[in-house]
A = this chain, B = another copy of it.
Amino acid sequence: MSETSEVTPAFSGPDGLVTAVAQDAVTGEVLMVAHMNREAWEETLSGGRAVYFSRARRRLWRKGEESGNVQNVKAIFVDCDADTVLLKVEQVGGAACHEGYPSCFFRQVTPSGAQIVAARVFDPADVYKKG
């Protein structure tokens, strides 16, 4: 288990993206899923904080740049076909989701519908200033 090799994620599509999963390094909770382009990947590696590529805004997204809830990267993994990366992170502020929940996966799908199964850490209206 000491084999090492070079690995570069398989950035693909018009924006050259891979999928990125952020997981709490301590609890194992899956916090969010986003995307990275090569620049986001390289800045994450060099800077130690999670940087994504926002498909909606078409620009680098330094997680926490607005809310202050940055993600300090503790370990990085790449999957078998190198089109997804997994970050184990320390989530500053205790909430990864812009909706104010610890994880973006705060809704469980049950036979009777979706149910919110987490408590809000912050109110988005207090954190994201309008205009």
Distance in angstroms from A90 CB to nearest chain B CB is 16
Least CB distance from A61 to B in Å reads 14
Within the assembled complex, what's the spacing in Å between the Cα atoms of A119 and B85? 19
Complex Cα–Cα for A21 and B101 (A): 19
In contact, A1 and B78 (Cβ under 8 angstroms): no
List 24 interface pairs A-B (beta carbons < 8 Å), by A numbering.
Answer: A1-B117, A3-B115, A4-B115, A5-B114, A6-B114, A7-B113, A19-B33, A21-B30, A23-B30, A28-B29, A30-B86, A45-B109, A76-B109, A77-B105, A77-B106, A77-B109, A77-B117, A78-B107, A78-B114, A79-B97, A79-B105, A79-B107, A80-B101, A80-B104
